[in-house]
Chains A and B, each alone.
Chain A
Amino acid sequence: DQQVKQNSPSLSVQEGRISILNCDYTNSMFDYFLWYKKYPAEGPTFLISISSIKDKNEDGRFTVFLNKSAKHLSLHIVPSQPGDSAVYFCAARVGTSGSRLTFGEGTQLTVNP
């Protein structure tokens, strides 16, 4: 039962344009969502998060939007840079930071110069 889904395994954009990565979830108990970036043979690096009480959180070039009614969140990167090329994982959890994370399958983002 895949509770967190990233339906696009890959995304390719031009440098300077916007990258939009999408994530859907099924468990209505999730109340905290995170995006991680991962390079090959490395662990995931935390990017940005959002609590279910908010619908938007922005940090520099990264903005996460949450639509609770649709159980959908998205990560916007603008402007995209070649160094952003990596696999992006959406993750969700229930409750406090001690709780386990459930990950999506990941989306490979390629930003072309």
Chain B
Amino acid sequence: GAVVSQHPSRVICKSGTSVKIECRSLDFQATTMFWYRQFPKKSLMLMATSNEGSKATYEQGVEKDKFLINHASLTLSTLTVTSAHPEDSSFYICSAHSLNSYNSPLHFGNGTRLTVT
């Protein structure tokens, strides 16, 4: 089945530094990838939609200059948390769907636990 790989699974960084999270579709091509954020005991909140070869579409309230998204190829999207602060600590999850499968469900990566100290 479709596999989405997310890296790293855990990262701890200091305030003010930047962190890059990678999301790869391993056995399928994805024109669209989605980035979600999950707060403890809360739902998954969509942050942005990443489109291959074009600018990402951000949800209301998400700072695009803080959460930089790049979707350089049909198998890779990256999320960079710039100038991280402790309130950015969260669980970030990416998802993608297969280019060639109509009505296919989204497949998710295993998430990245970001802790900003």
**Residues of chain A whose beta carbon lies under 8 Å from any beta carbon of chain B:** 9, 32, 34, 36, 41-46, 49, 51, 89, 96-98, 100-106
Q: In angstroms, how far is the closest chain B Cβ from the Cβ of A12?
A: 16
Nearest CB in chain A to that of B44: its residue: A103
Q: How large is the interface on B (under 10, 10 to 19, 20 to 34, 35 or more residues)?
A: 20 to 34
B85-110, CB < 8 A from A: 91, 93, 95, 97-98, 101-110
**Chain B residues whose CB sits within 8 angstroms of the CB of A104 once the complex forms:** 43
Within the complex, which residue of B4, B34, B105 is in contact with A100, where a contact is CB–CB below 8 Å? B34
Asked whether A51 lies within 8 Å of B103 as measured between CB atoms, the reply is yes
Q: In angstroms, how far is the closest chain A Cβ from the Cβ of B34?
A: 6
**Chain A residues whose CB sits within 8 angstroms of the CB of B109 once the complex forms:** 43
**Chain A residues whose CB sits within 8 angstroms of the CB of B107 once the complex forms:** 46
Asked whether A43 lies within 8 Å of B43 as measured between CB atoms, the reply is no
Query: CB of B77 within 8 A of chain A?
Result: no
Asked whether A97 lies within 8 Å of B42 as measured between CB atoms, the reply is no
**Chain B residues whose CB sits within 8 angstroms of the CB of A44 once the complex forms:** 44, 93, 108
Asked whether B34 lies within 8 Å of A89 as measured between CB atoms, the reply is no
Asked whether A96 lies within 8 Å of B44 as measured between CB atoms, the reply is no
Q: How far is the CA of A50 from the CA of B5 in the complex (A)?
A: 26
Chain B positions 58 through 95: 1 when the CB is less than 8 Å from some CB of chain A, otherwise 0? 00000000000000000000000000000000010101
**Residues of chain B whose beta carbon lies under 8 Å from any beta carbon of chain A:** 4, 6, 9, 31-32, 34, 36, 41-46, 49, 91, 93, 95, 97-98, 101-111, 113
* Interface SS, A side: loop
Asked whether B31 lies within 8 Å of A46 as measured between CB atoms, the reply is no
Asked whether B43 lies within 8 Å of A100 as measured between CB atoms, the reply is no
Asked whether B93 lies within 8 Å of A34 as measured between CB atoms, the reply is no
Given A89-B44, A101-B34, A103-B43, check contact A42 B104 (CB 8 Å).
no
Given A89-B43, A89-B44, check contact A43 B4 (CB 8 Å).
yes
Asked whether B43 lies within 8 Å of A41 as measured between CB atoms, the reply is no
Other than the known A41-B113, A43-B109, A98-B97, what 9 A-B pairs have Cβ atoms closer than 8 Å? Answer: A34-B105, A43-B6, A51-B103, A97-B98, A97-B101, A101-B46, A101-B95, A103-B44, A106-B43
**Chain A residues whose CB sits within 8 angstroms of the CB of B45 once the complex forms:** 103
